[in-house]
């Protein structure tokens, strides 16, 4: 089973880590790196990416002529996708465990952020009757 | 399947362009020949480690690939026969085996291949992928790993590139004298981009990634062997070697970016530096300077400085001034501003950056922000520097670079300890 773990941050302005002291910033980055290494070592890592900040985001819609209409910077959005992981695990419980670990990433002063991680199953299973 | 050892893999990759060149000459069908050679390489990678090296490895590959092509032709004829009941009277074997020895050497073929794969009608990304496969002898899977895309995606990109070559009707031959310089420029540009792609990636979680920088150097070596009298090719090879020489020192233990002035110079590859400098010494006296030779000269000045503080910035500045006259490249302009700041002080560099901010290719990029932040920091404007480091961090698409820029801003924010 594959699960997508989505890390959300407050959506106004640049990422909060941009204003952290150096020590806290480095600790956070270290955590994220070793987190990825651990998932890889466990054979659970599928993919994961960090996304550029809210100030760089665009929302795109097709106009009547099919051409893109872009609209930028969303000060009103409360939450913003900052990055994601896709993991291959044996159970939903394991995915929740991994998400909890990510949630506790160290923040300012090394205090766990306990940020919300949205967990969704990726629809990659074969149809039932084709299995076996 | 036994994993082919490094020596066999190396030999296969070196033979790939020669075998493909021979097949291309015979069939005049690059796309089909390329597929056949790829299959022959895969077969060799499976069989050679088990059965031992054939007596004539190249002939073995040519034979297997030709047989594969013959099968293809047979099937095509059968298809056509079913459809039109018109059958060629020429036996399938001869359709591909009609090779007449026109005196062309394998070197001519390899060069023609390079020109074909780096044809200006292809996008750089496609040209890089195709060159890696057709000239570099890499498998689609290896190329896909280099670009971190699924193998199927890369296979499609390569087959579209081959189709584009077919459609453009580029002949498999060395371009004529009037087109030669421009086409050689396109080849060098593709190799330079291939190297840069690998160099940028080398700081990430790179363990599983194919070494694009190393492949770029290998193919550039081949190009240099084929056209040894082109000073810009020597310059390109020198530039790649002199840059790659710093690779080990470029990242810290946790994969973090280490800027040039803070690198441990003892970890620089002296052998590569020596080779690069020798290439440059051979090229410059020919009196046909070009962007690659000049950039290599800058790299050599950095590499030869015993410490960052002893860098010969006045000479680097002079080189960038020549480079600016020679090419219209915003990255050269940025580096020129940095060199100016190093020689004449940050204010002079910042004044140049103000002029560059109107260049659409630089405006709004993280590079301009990062350089300005750096010069502001040197000028003592710490709040200004901090804001720009952060803006650059939010604009870069590289995690490693973002971490570096954020850490820099955070250090300024913390103040001196």
Count of structural domains, chain A: 1
The DSSP secondary structure of B196-228, one letter per residue, reads HHHHHHTTSS-TTS--HHHHHHHHHHHHHHHST
ipTM of this model? Answer: 0.74
Question: Least CB-CB distance to B394: which of A14, A26, A36?
Answer: A14
Q: Shortest CA distance to B244 belongs to which of B277, B283, B196?
A: B196
Q: Which residues of B touch A19 (CB under 8 A)?
A: 390, 413
Question: Least CB-CB distance to B406: which of A18, A30, A55?
Answer: A18
- pLDDT at position B104 is 60
Residue A41 in domain: yes
Q: Does A30 touch chain B (CB under 8 A)?
A: yes
Q: Which residues of A touch B396 (CB under 8 A)?
A: 52
* 8 Å CB contact of A25 and B254: no
Radius of gyration of chain A, Cα coordinates, nearest whole angstrom:
18
- pLDDT at position B75 is 80
Q: Bridge-partner residues for A48, per DSSP? A: A85
B92-106, B150-164, B313-327: least confident range: B92-106
CA distance A17 to B96: 63
* 8 Å CB contact of A14 and B390: yes
Q: How many CB pairs under 8 A join A and B?
A: 44
Q: Which residues of A touch B255 (CB under 8 A)?
A: 33
**Closest approach of chain A CAs to the CA of B371, in angstroms?**
18
* 8 Å CB contact of B397 and A21: no
Q: Which residues of B touch A33 (CB under 8 A)?
A: 254-255
The DSSP secondary structure of A36-72, one letter per residue, reads HHHHHHTT-EEEEEE---GGG-EEEEE-TTS-EEEEE
Residue A90 in domain: yes
Q: Which A positions 65-84 lie with beta carbon below 8 A of chain B?
A: none
Collapse the DSSP code of A81 into the 3-class scheme (helix H, G, I; strand E, B; otherwise coil) and give the result. Answer: strand
Residue A57 in domain: yes
- pLDDT at position B87 is 47
Q: Shortest CA distance to B211 belongs to which of B229, B188, B194?
A: B194
* Alpha helices (H) in B305-363, listed in sequence order: 313-326, 330-344, 346-356
Collapse the DSSP code of A3 into the 3-class scheme (helix H, G, I; strand E, B; otherwise coil) and give the result. Answer: strand
**Closest approach of chain B CAs to the CA of A45, in angstroms?**
13
Residue A96 in domain: yes
Q: Bridge-partner residues for A50, per DSSP? A: A83
Residue A58 in domain: yes
B24-33, B102-111, B335-344, B377-386: least confident range: B102-111
CATH (domain of A106): 3.30.70.1060
pLDDT more than 70, % of chain B: 90
- Token code pair at residue B319: 């080189």
Contact call for residues B41 and B61 (beta carbons, < 8 A): yes
* 8 Å CB contact of B410 and A22: yes
CA distance B106 to B99: 14
Classify burial at B367, counting beta carbons within 10 Å of its beta carbon; exposed 0-12, middle 13-18, buried 19 or more: middle
Residue A129 in domain: no
- Residue A7 above 70 pLDDT? yes
* 8 Å CB contact of B410 and A15: no
Question: Least CB-CB distance to B407: which of A26, A33, A50?
Answer: A26
- Token code pair at residue A28: 């956070």
Closest residue of chain A to B397, computed from CA coordinates: A52
Helix, strand, coil tally for chain A in percent (to 5): 35, 30, 35
Question: Least CB-CB distance to A25: which of B397, B399, B406?
Answer: B406
pLDDT digits (tens, 9 = 90+) for B56-90: 999 999 999 999 988 877 887 777 666 554 445 55
Closest residue of chain B to A33, computed from CA coordinates: B254
Q: Shortest CA distance to B198 belongs to which of B186, B185, B187, B209?
A: B209
- Residue B266 above 60 pLDDT? yes
* 8 Å CB contact of A18 and B411: no
- Residue B337 above 50 pLDDT? yes
- pLDDT at position B238 is 98
**Closest approach of chain B CAs to the CA of A109, in angstroms?**
13
- Residue A31 above 90 pLDDT? yes
B28-37, B141-150, B280-289: least confident range: B141-150
- pLDDT at position B81 is 65
* 8 Å CB contact of A18 and B409: yes
pTM summary value: 0.83
- Residue A109 above 80 pLDDT? yes
- Token code pair at residue A32: 């994220």
**Closest approach of chain A CAs to the CA of B400, in angstroms?**
10
pLDDT more than 70, % of chain A: 87
Domain containing residue A6: 2-124
Contact call for residues B66 and B25 (beta carbons, < 8 A): no
Q: Does A109 touch chain B (CB under 8 A)?
A: no
Reported as a pLDDT band with limits 50, 70 and 90, residue B257 is confident
Interface with chain A: mutation pick from B394, B397, B408, B415, highest number of A CBs within 10 Å? B394
Residue A101 in domain: yes
Contact call for residues B240 and B216 (beta carbons, < 8 A): yes
- pLDDT at position B100 is 44
Reported as a pLDDT band with limits 50, 70 and 90, residue B99 is very low
* 8 Å CB contact of A29 and B403: yes
Who has greater pLDDT, B117 or A54? Answer: B117
Q: Does A17 touch chain B (CB under 8 A)?
A: yes
* 8 Å CB contact of B399 and A55: no
- pLDDT at position B86 is 45
- Residue A83 above 90 pLDDT? yes
- pLDDT at position A13 is 67
Collapse the DSSP code of B293 into the 3-class scheme (helix H, G, I; strand E, B; otherwise coil) and give the result. Answer: helix
- Mean pLDDT estimate for chain B: 87
Question: Least CB-CB distance to A52: which of B254, B394, B411?
Answer: B394
């Amino acid at each position: 089973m594959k699960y997508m773990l989505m890390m959300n941050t407050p959506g106004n302005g640049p990422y909060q880590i941009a204003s952290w002291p150096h020590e806290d910033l480095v600790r956070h980055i270290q955590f994220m790196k070793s987190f990825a290494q651990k998932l890889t070592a466990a054979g659970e890592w599928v993919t994961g990416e960090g996304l550029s900040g809210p100030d760089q985001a665009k929302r795109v819609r097709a106009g009547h002529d099919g051409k893109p209409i872009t609209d930028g910077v969303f000060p009103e959005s409360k939450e913003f996708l900052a990055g994601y992981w896709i993991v291959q695990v044996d159970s939903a419980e394991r995915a929740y465990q991994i998400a909890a670990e990510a949630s506790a990433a160290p923040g300012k002063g090394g205090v766990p952020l306990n940020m919300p991680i949205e967990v969704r199953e990726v629809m990659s299973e074969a149809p039932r009757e084709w299995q076996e | 399947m036994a994993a082919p050892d490094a020596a066999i893999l190396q030999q296969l990759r070196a033979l790939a362009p020669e075998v493909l060149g021979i097949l291309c000459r015979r069939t005049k069908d690059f796309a089909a020949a390329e597929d056949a050679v790829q299959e022959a390489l895969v077969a060799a990678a499976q069989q050679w480690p088990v059965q031992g090296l054939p007596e004539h490895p190249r002939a073995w590959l040519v034979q297997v690939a030709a047989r594969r092509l013959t099968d293809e032709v047979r099937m095509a004829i059968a298809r056509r026969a079913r459809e039109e009941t018109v059958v060629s009277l020429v036996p399938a074997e001869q359709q591909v085996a009609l090779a007449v020895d026109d005196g062309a050497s394998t070197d001519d073929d390899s060069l023609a291949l390079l020109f074909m794969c780096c044809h200006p009608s292809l996008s750089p990304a496609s040209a890089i992928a195709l060159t890696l496969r057709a000239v570099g002898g890499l498998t689609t899977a290896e190329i896909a790993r280099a670009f971190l895309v699924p193998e199927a995606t890369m296979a499609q990109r390569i087959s579209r590139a081959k189709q584009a070559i077919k459609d453009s009707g580029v002949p498999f031959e060395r371009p004529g004298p009037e087109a030669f310089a421009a086409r050689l420029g396109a080849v060098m540009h593709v190799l330079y981009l291939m190297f840069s792609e690998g160099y940028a990636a080398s700081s990430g979680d790179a363990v599983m990634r194919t070494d694009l920088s190393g492949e770029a150097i290998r193919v550039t070596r081949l190009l240099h062997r084929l056209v040894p009298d082109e000073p810009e090719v020597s310059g390109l090879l020198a530039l790649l070697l002199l840059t790659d020489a710093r690779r080990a020192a470029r990242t810290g233990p946790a994969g973090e970016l280490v800027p040039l002035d803070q690198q441990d110079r003892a970890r620089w590859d002296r052998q590569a530096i020596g080779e690069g400098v020798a290439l440059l010494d051979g090229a410059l006296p020919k009196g046909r300077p070009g962007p690659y030779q000049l950039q290599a000269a800058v790299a050599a000045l950095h590499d030869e400085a015993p410490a960052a503080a002893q860098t010969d910035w006045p000479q680097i500045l002079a080189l960038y001034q020549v480079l600016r006259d020679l090419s219209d490249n915003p990255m050269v302009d940025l580096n020129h501003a940095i060199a100016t700041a190093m020689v004449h002080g940050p204010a002079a560099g910042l004044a140049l950056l103000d002029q560059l901010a109107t260049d659409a290719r630089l405006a709004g990029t993280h590079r301009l922000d990062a350089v300005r932040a750096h010069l502001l920091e040197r000028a003592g404007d710490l709040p200004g520097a901090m804001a720009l480091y952060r803006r650059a961090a939010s604009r870069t698409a590289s995690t490693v670079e973002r971490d570096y820029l954020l850490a820099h801003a955070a250090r300024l924010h913390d103040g001196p300890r």
